[in-house]
Amino acid sequence: MARMHARRKGRSSSHHPVERVHPSWSLKQDEIEKKIIELAEEGKPPAMIGLILRDVYGVPDVKAALGKKLTKVLEEHGLKPEIPEDLSNLMDKRNNLMKHLSKHPKDIHNRRRLQLIEAKIKRLVKYYKRERKLPENWSYS
């Protein structure tokens, strides 16, 4: 599938293994859940928690280990972030670009990038409101 704001095709990315089986040498289910809760209480976002579990603790796939996604575990323990992670990443990107444009007001290429980022944010907000992951009265400014 093609990119939305670029005239090129997408790049291939990593794929899960065909068999979603948790290896016997990795952490046990209760240990994984404790680590997820511990890392979330430190303020780490879900993607960072997944990377830490994979790289430090040798857990290749949380869903294969627990039978549920990492965000479900966070939701069960009341640690799920109020704004979905992809939306918050786009908002951070927008804020960084606004800082750049305040220093460099004639940078028209990045002004266009800012318009595209804001369009993505508005589309995501509309989607999350429709899916009831954001409250109806939540507004992006």
> How much is the average pLDDT of 49-76?
93
- Cα distance between residue 83 and residue 105, in whole Å: 30
- Cα distance between residue 27 and residue 35, in whole Å: 10
pLDDT-derived band at 93 (thresholds 50, 70, 90) equals very high
Q: What angle do CA 57, 48, 40 make, to 5 degrees?
A: 85
pLDDT score for 69: 93
User: Higher model confidence: residue 84 or residue 140?
Assistant: 84
Q: For 100-127, how does the pLDDT look when each residue is reduced to its tens digit (9 = 90+)?
A: 999 999 999 999 999 999 999 999 999 9
DSSP the chain: -B-SSSSSBPPP-----SS----TTS--HHHHHHHHHHHHHTT--HHHHHHHHHHTS--S-HHHHHSS-HHHHHHHTT---SS-HHHHHHHHHHHHHHHHHHH-TT-HHHHHHHHHHHHHHHHHHHHHHHTTSS-TT----
pTM given for the model = 0.80
Amino acid letter for position 45? P
pLDDT score for 49: 95
pLDDT score for 1: 45
Q: For 1-48, how does the pLDDT look when each residue is reduced to its tens digit (9 = 90+)?
A: 467 777 777 776 777 767 788 888 889 999 999 999 999 999 999 999
- Cα distance between residue 75 and residue 72, in whole Å: 5
Q: Percentage of the chain with pLDDT > 70?
A: 96
pLDDT score for 129: 94
> How much is the average pLDDT of 125-136?
92
